[in-house]
Amino acid sequence: MRTDPPPPGATTAAAGGAPGGGHGIRVRAGRGQVDVDWDPVPDAAGYLVHRADGDGPFQVVDHRGGDLLAVPGPPYADSTVEPGRTVRYAVRPVLDPDRPDDGPLGPASAPVSARDGGDAAVEVTVDVARPVGPLPRPWRDMIGSEHLSLLLCTDRVGGEEMGAGLAAALGRVHRELGVERVRAHGILGDDLGVYREVGGQPVHDFTGIDAVLDALAPTGLRPVLELSFVPRALARDPSREITAAGVSSPPRDWDRWAALVGDLIRHLRTRVGDAELRRWAVEVWNEPDLACFWTGTREDYLRMYDVTARAVRAACPGLPVGGPATAATKWIEPFLDHVDASGAPLDFLSTHVYGSPPLDLRPILERHGRADTPLLWTEWGPTPTHFAPVNDSVLSAAFVATGMQEAAGRVAALACWVASDHFEELGRPPALLHGGFGLLSVGNLAKPRFWALRMLEQLAPVQLTARLGGDGAGTLVRAWPSVDPDSGRVAVLLWNGTLDQGVLDRPDQRRRLGRTVRLRIDGLSAARYDLRHRRLDERTSNLAATARRLGVDGWPDAEQWAGLRAADALADAEPPVVVTPDDGCVWLPLDLPMPSLSLLELTPT
C-alpha cells in the first residue's frame, strides 16, 4: 500500500534526535482526525505517538486499547483529538518493549487542529498490471481458543452444549477462514488428569488429552500445544489457582516436570507419527510475566523454558518449540539473551498484544542473529478485556483488517483470540451479545471480526499495489487489492477504521470520520466483468444489529434463533451488476462510514 506524499499545506518538523537517524514528523489536519507521519528509525520495534495541547507537556496518545499503546510504524490517525483544539505531536521510538519510554522523544510538529466539518474524500487507484507477489495470510496459521478440554463439556449455555458449540466454531474457522491450527491453551491442566502420585511416585495418564484430540480431529485443525499449567500434585504451591483446571506455580521437582513433558511428546509421537507431529508445535507456558499466570520469578520461567524445550527436543527432534508467550510483548530481549547463553532450542518466538497492530520484532531478532526465526503472535485482539463492547463491534473488524495488513509478510502467525464465545476462564457467557472474545457467538453466528477475516480470505492469490490520496488516506481508509492471474478475478478490500476505541461512545465523531471513496482500477483486460460488493457496517452483516431488530434480550427464543441463523451471511451492499471497462479502467464510487468494510470483486464474464 502506498499513500500520496503530504500536500504543500502539511506541516513538518526537521529530522533529528533519534539513534541512527531522524524521525522527522509530518502532520496533516483532517475532518475529525490528525494524520501523523514520520521517518522510520533503524532498529525500532514500534513507536509511541505523543500529543501536547498548545505549549503543554507531551503525553502518549491513548487509543484505549488497554495494553501496549505503541504502533509498529507510520502513519497514524489520531481521532482522539477534539476538533478545533490546537495540538502538537512528537514520536518516541520503542527499541525494547520492556522499556518503551527509554527511546528519545523526537522533534515536535508544528501546531495543527483537526477540522470539524467539510468534505472528506479519498481516492484509491489500483493497477492490475502491477502485481507485488503472493498475498500473505497471517490469519491462517493459528486461532486462539479456550482450553480445549471444553470440547468434552456437556453443560449447556444458550441452549447448546458447550463442547459441541466450541467444536462447531473451530470447524467453521477452518472451513471458511482457512485456519490450520488451534492453540491448545492449558493442555496440562488437572481437568484432564495427566499427573498424580501414588506412593510418592509419578503416574502419567494421557487418556484425557487423547479424548480432547479425538474431539478436535473432526474440526480439521491441528493443535499448538501450550504446555501449561502445572498439575497440583507437582506444584511448588498448589494453592495458587488460575482456575479449577490450572495452577500458576512452578513445579517443585524439575526432573519430574521434564519427565511429564517428555512422556507426553513420546505418547503423541506414537499416536500420530513423526510426520504429523512435526506439523504441530509446542509453546512453553502462557503469559509468565503476569502474576495471575505465573507466581515464580522471571528466572524461574527461563529455567522452565530450558527444561521444557530440551525435554521436547529429546522426545521428538522435529517438533517445533518456542516461547516466551508473554503478554504485551514483554521479556523479548531478556528471553533471547537467555536462550543465546543457555543454548536451549528455540524454533519460533511467541508473544501477545492487544489493542494495537503487532510490533515489528524483526530488528530484535536480527540483533540476536536469529533473523530467520518465525514470529508467532499466539494471542491478539482489540482488547485484553472480557465482556468489553468492542469485541462485538464493527470497529473491531476494521481493527482486524488493519492488523493483518500491517503484519503481512513479517509474521508467521497472527492468531485472533478466540474462535468462540464458548469461553469460561473469565466467566461463562451470560447472553448472546456480552462482549465475549469469540469471533463466533454461542450458536456459531458470525460476529464482525469473523466477517473481516472472511473478507480477507476472499482476496485473490496475488496482491497488487494501491495508491491512496485524500483525507485519511492510508490512516483511516485502507485498501488491500489482489488478483487471480489464472481467472482474472480482481478482489479489493477497502475499510475505514481507527485504533481509537473511544469513538464507540462518540456518535458525532463517528459521523465526522465517515469518508467517500472513489476506487479506480486500471489494467483490466476483459471486456465485461461481474461486479459484486459485499459489506460490513453498523447495519449490514452485523450480528448486533440483527439481534436488535429481532428484539433479542439476553438469549434468543426459538423464533429469534431462526431469524439470526437466516441472517448469518456476508451481505451484498447492492445487487451484483455488469461493468464494462473504458480503456481497461473502471471507477467505483462508494461511501465508507466509520467503521465499515467493503469487499469489491470483479470477475470476467
Hey, what's the torsion of the CAs at 225, 231, 234, 238, to 10 degrees?
A: 130
Cβ count within 10 A of residue 367: 13
Cell numbers found for residue 11: 506541516
SS3 308: helix
**Start-to-end Cα distance in the chain:** 28
- Interatomic CA distance for residues 391 and 285, integer angstroms: 25
Using CB atoms within 10 A of its CB, is residue 275 exposed (0-12), middle (13-18) or buried (19+)? exposed
| E strand residue ranges, 221-297 | 222-227, 241-243, 246-247, 281-284
Do 433 and 160 meet the contact criterion of CB atoms below 8 Å apart?
no
Contact 44, 93 (CB under 8 A): yes
- If we measure between CA atoms, which residue out of 580, 603, 443 comes closest to residue 534? 603
Q: Residue 525 and residue 438: Cα distance in Å, rounded?
A: 41
**Residue 532 · residue 572 · CB < 8 Å:** yes
Identify which of 184, 185, 175 has the alpha carbon closest to the alpha carbon of residue 140: 175
Question: Residues 543, 222, 463, CA angle at the centre, nearest 5°?
Answer: 65
With a CB cutoff of 8 Å and minimum separation 6, the contacts of 369 are: 340
Contact indicator for 136, 374 with CB cutoff of 8 Å = no
| Residue 488 burial by Cβ neighbours in a 10 Å radius (0-12, 13-18, 19+) | middle
In the numeric block, which cell numbers belong to residue 380? 491478539
Residue of 287, 379, 406, 601 marked active site: 287
Chain centroid to CA 488:
30
Rounded to an integer, what distance in angstroms lies between the CA atom of residue 532 and that of residue 326? 42
> How many residues in total does the chain contain?
605
Assigned C-alpha cell, 150: 471444553
DSSP state of 537: S
Contact 482, 462 (CB under 8 A): yes
Beta strand 76-78 with 34-38 is antiparallel
- Count of H-run helices and E-run strands, the chain: 12, 31
Residue 287: active-site member: yes
Chain-centroid distance, C-alpha 238: 33
Q: Which residue has the cell 531478532?
A: 365
* Cα 467 from Cα 490, distance rounded (Å): 16
Check if the beta carbon of residue 48 is closer than 8 Å to that of residue 97.
no
How far apart, in whole angstroms, are the C-alpha atoms of residue 330 and residue 343?
21
Cα 565-571-576 angle, rounded to 5 deg: 140
In the block, cell 529429546 appears at 314
Tell me which residue has cell 472472511. Answer: 454
Which residues are tagged catalytic?
287
